[in-house]
Amino acid sequence: MRERIRRKSKLKGRQADDVSLAEVRALVGAGPHRRDLLIEHLHRLNDAWRCLHDRHLVALAREMNIPMAEVYEVATFYHHFEVVKGDAEVAGLTVRVCDGLSCELAGAKDLLARLPVLLGRADVRVIAAPCLGRCEQAPVAVVHQCPVPLATPEAVAAVVNAGLTQQAPARCDASFSASALAEKSVGVPAELRQVSPDYVGLDAYLAQGGYALAAALAKGEANAEQILTKMENSGLRGLGGAGFPAGRKWRIVREQAAPRLMAVNIDEGEPGTFKDRTYLERDPHRFLEGLLIAAQVVGIDACYIYLRDEYHGCRALLETELAKLRANPPCQLPSIELRRGAGAYICGEESAMIESIEGKRGEPRMRPPYIAQVGLFGRPTLEHNFETLYWVRDIVEKGADWFSGFGRNGRRGLRSFSVSGRVQHPGVKLAPAGISVQELIDEYCGGMLPGHSLYAYLPGGASGGILPARLNQIPLDFDTLQSYGCFIGSAAVIILSQQDSARDAALNMMKFFAHESCGQCTPCRVGTAKAVQLMQAPVWDQRTLEDLNEVMTDASICGLGQAAPNPVRSVQKYFPQEIV
């Protein structure tokens, strides 16, 4: 029998070239590289080259010792990464114009139509983008990483022209910042002059008694069990949308085997929501102290803060204040890592966020197990929304009765409502839980805009449904809206007037869901796209739409697909005159 000749195998597939390897190493540093830092490394490449060249992806896969297929599938999953072949030309600047509902009401379609003509440059591209988290400043555009609130074509053009005068216009360097652009721009709104004017920095926060509670807990001068009991008695529920009791979550994770981790969700991608950004810009250390208190009570070894990519100014602020905190710690700090999202709404779902922190595609996990038991890196994980942690210090210092003492119409606590749309004074409104939308408009928003009257409202952002003006006295809180086919979620309230259409609002939301579906499950991936087609017809095929609604609600893996039918059903129930 003839003996087989064994030849040394050769590497298969595309190989990294020396130039690409050198360029990647210059940006991500020398190895070895942790697998979970893949997305962070992709951001470094994307920031530097305004895209992801496929040759750099090959080199990165080589440097991280992971398959090219894994790098490619992650790079192509997130909206803020653009993979190009070879050294294809890319735009010198990208202008994103928000097409979310609040911006659409404020004229985003006109802005999108006029900007390409006004700019008239081949090296600038203008694209529509889902909600950018600045709904109170609608319409909003973002030039590269520089937000332009209350955007006019002229203001956007001023920022674009300032950006193209920077050195190496096809690349991005440290000098290309929001503040640098604003200082060189003419006619740019004053809000751009500083990323976050007058925020409470570390010194000011310490002067107000900040971190005293965290330090006392670390020294044994405060009792962890008593703090946990106060959290449970306060009635504070998760303020990211799900509303799970915060104190109960602490106790569940605390009972799990160590090591335990924490994941903080500041992805805030729900259209109409901007409360986390607002509080972070004003008082970042109140949140960070809440994080430290939770970490000590629950026994957390490492904390991961997941911040949406659209909040570039917040990221710079948080990096600065974290550096100050590490240089002057009030107590022993756990490991704290700041992670950067990449433009995927689905990563607001807790398990999808954890997948993203691990450097993977942001696809939701099947349950069980729940992340309190098997979460980040397979460890028990305490997951919290930013605002939930923001209230911890006040609740512990002032007592559970202080927080639960607020409320109207039989409800307890405080709620931060992100209000946008047809009101005089949009913004974050801290109001008693259970307040009605009419009270919110009249007492906190200065009433409706001149010439506008309340026609409809969205009580909980894109997925929370739509209610007519005649139901303007319903208490806004957890568990008060379900019987109407709606829910409060993250308390993103969008106000529509008689000049608007509930049908158009529902279509805007369904387009958003179709764009943001992760594609993992067929009911959501196909259902949202098909629903958009049906909702664009002059007369809705309600029987087929309801079939889609049932399938998406019953069979989708996560809340995106399960809640996507809510606006459709609201229009069918409360605004039938608009769809026949």
Residues 376-427 have pLDDT tens digits of 999 999 999 999 999 999 999 999 999 999 999 999 999 999 999 999 999 9
Taking residues 18-43, what's their average pLDDT? 96
Q: How confident is the model at residue 121 (pLDDT cuts 50, 70, 90)?
A: confident
Judge contact between 385 and 240, C-beta under 8 A.
yes
Cα→Cα distances 207→201, 204, 212, 284, Å: 10, 5, 10, 15
DSSP of 535-580 = HTSSS--HHHHHHHHHHHHHH-SSHHHHHTTHHHHHHHHH-GGG--
pLDDT exceeds cutoff 90 at 537 = yes
Rg (C-alpha) for the chain, rounded Å, is 24
Spatial separation of the C-alpha atoms in residues 340 and 37, rounded to whole Å = 10
Residues 438-496 have pLDDT tens digits of 999 999 999 999 999 999 999 999 999 999 999 999 999 999 999 999 999 999 999 99
The tally of CA atoms less than 13 A away on the side-chain side of residue 252 is 15
Look up residue 98 and give its amino acid.
Answer: C
Residues 492-526 have pLDDT tens digits of 999 999 999 999 999 999 999 999 999 999 999 99
Instruction: Give the pLDDT of residue 164.
Output: 67
Q: How many distinct helices (H) and strands (E) make up the chain?
A: 25, 15
pTM of the model: 0.92
